[in-house]
Amino acid sequence: MTVLRSIRTMGAVCAATALLAACGGSDDNNGERSVGSLRLIGQQILPRRMEYQGTVVGGISGIDYDEKSNQFVLLSDDRTTTDSANAPRMYTVRLNYDASSFSGVQFLSTFSMKQPNGAVYPKVPDPLVADPESVRVDRATGNYVWVSEGDRTLASGTSAARIIDPFIREVRPDGTHVREYQIPAMFRMSADNTGPRGNLAFEGIAFTPDNSRAAVLMEGALLQDGPASTTTAGSVSRITMFDRATGAAVAQYAYPVDKVQAVPVPADQFTVSGATEILALSGTRFLVLERSFSVGVVGNQIRLYEINTANASNVLTTPALAGAAYTPVTKRLVLDFETLKGPLGGIANLEGITFGPKLANGRDSLVVVADDNFPTADSQTDRNQYLVFEVLP
């Protein structure tokens, strides 16, 4: 096992409280949670392209906590030979923190996820490549359920098209395949002007506290639902509820995605704004992480919202949201990470969130991790960043 200590330690300045617009209540008796505000405990930044058991640690796009083992599982979205020579994989780790400090990340194991045929997942440009984005631990079985974003790369010049559907799959702790959820037809990738956009498909998954439902989050709008977010307007994605027993979709809600938060430099360069992770508070309330990025702007603009689906329209049978009448989920800002940009020395590409173990004072902890995109040089935008917060009422 490998123990990593902080490259950047957090002093008392990072114990400042990040307040939100309204306060939440206390924990319910049914595993439900409330989040009022967050107090930053500390951060760890792992060395760029560090190695563990012959793998390059990076691309951490998902995290979840296994209460039974007191370990966290990390999901790496390694999908190209430029990222590394390793197959897509998970890690188990311990995060060493308490209410006053976050002192290290301890790696325990790693394993590759297996396809239904038993083979590891290949790399781009293989038509069976996966793009892992989020993972959750099944509290009943100990298995891992993870989502792949798929691929929509159209033919260009001498490059062949890659049209690969997103998926939701379950694996055992050794990575062997168990089953696959049933994906609604609207999520099938297509070279036509329908279905998910490339790199804006399945991005997050959450289990409701009773473990009966899985909420799967789209990063951005389906092509038929309207344009992607710009610097002047937001967009709309979908959150789909799946019955965990059958693997079938049972409901779906429209999620309003923020506009791009910063103008790129130069102004005609690439931008993106999308929802990157979801975490359940109850059967209808969730935390959603949103990320905005603009070329030429240092760091990422990250916001954490609490959303509620209780009064939202069920749009599962609505083929296109553009021009349709519906009520979206409600959103409440919990934390604008820009307020922590100075103390943290920058905000990386935060993509994973989970509750961790209870702190000694009985309050929840919340962990947020970044996908560093396997950088070749150190930067404030792409780094292996881990953040721990105390959840305040």
- Average pLDDT value for residue range 169-173: 98
Tell me, what's the pLDDT at 13?
A: 34
Residue 145 has pLDDT above 90, yes or no: yes
pLDDT band at 379 (very low <50, low <70, confident <90, very high): confident
What pLDDT sits at residue 378?
A: 83
Q: Note the pLDDT tens digit of each residue in 92-119.
A: 999 999 999 999 999 999 999 999 999 9
What is the amino acid identity at position 225?
Answer: D
pLDDT > 70? residue 24: no
Q: Is the pLDDT of residue 381 over 90?
A: no
User: Residue 46: is its pLDDT beyond 70?
Assistant: yes
Indicate the pLDDT class of residue 56, thresholds 50, 70 and 90: very high
Looking at per-residue pLDDT, the higher value among 222 and 379 belongs to 222
The model's pLDDT over 203-237, given as tens digits with 9 standing for 90+, comes to 999 999 999 999 999 999 999 999 999 999 999 99
User: Is 225 strand, coil or helix?
Assistant: helix
Which string of DSSP letters, residue by residue, matches 280-346? ESSSSEEEEEEEEEETTSSS-EEEEEEEE-TTS---TT-S--TT------EEEEEEEGGGGHHHHT-
C-alpha span between 321 and 154 (Å, rounded)? 24
Percent of the chain with pLDDT over 70: 93
Residue 7 has pLDDT above 70, yes or no: no
- The pTM (predicted TM-score) of the whole model is 0.93
- pLDDT above 70 (res 131): yes
- Tens-digit pLDDT profile for residues 270-311: 999 999 999 999 999 999 999 999 999 999 999 999 999 999
Is the per-residue pLDDT at 134 higher than 80? yes
Beta carbons of 364 and 353 less than 8 angstroms apart? no
**Could you tell me what percent of the chain has a pLDDT over 90?**
89
Q: pLDDT for 326-342, tens place per residue?
A: 999 999 999 999 999 99
DSSP type of residue 268: T
- Asked if the model's pLDDT at residue 3 lies above 70, the reply is no
Q: Return the half-sphere exposure (C-beta side, CA atoms, 13 A cut-off) of residue 45.
A: 18
Q: How far apart, in whole angstroms, are the C-alpha atoms of residue 322 and residue 294?
A: 26
Angle (CA) 186 187 193, round 5°: 70
Q: Rounded to 5 degrees, what are φ and ψ at 187?
A: -95, 5
User: What pLDDT is attached to residue 258?
Assistant: 98
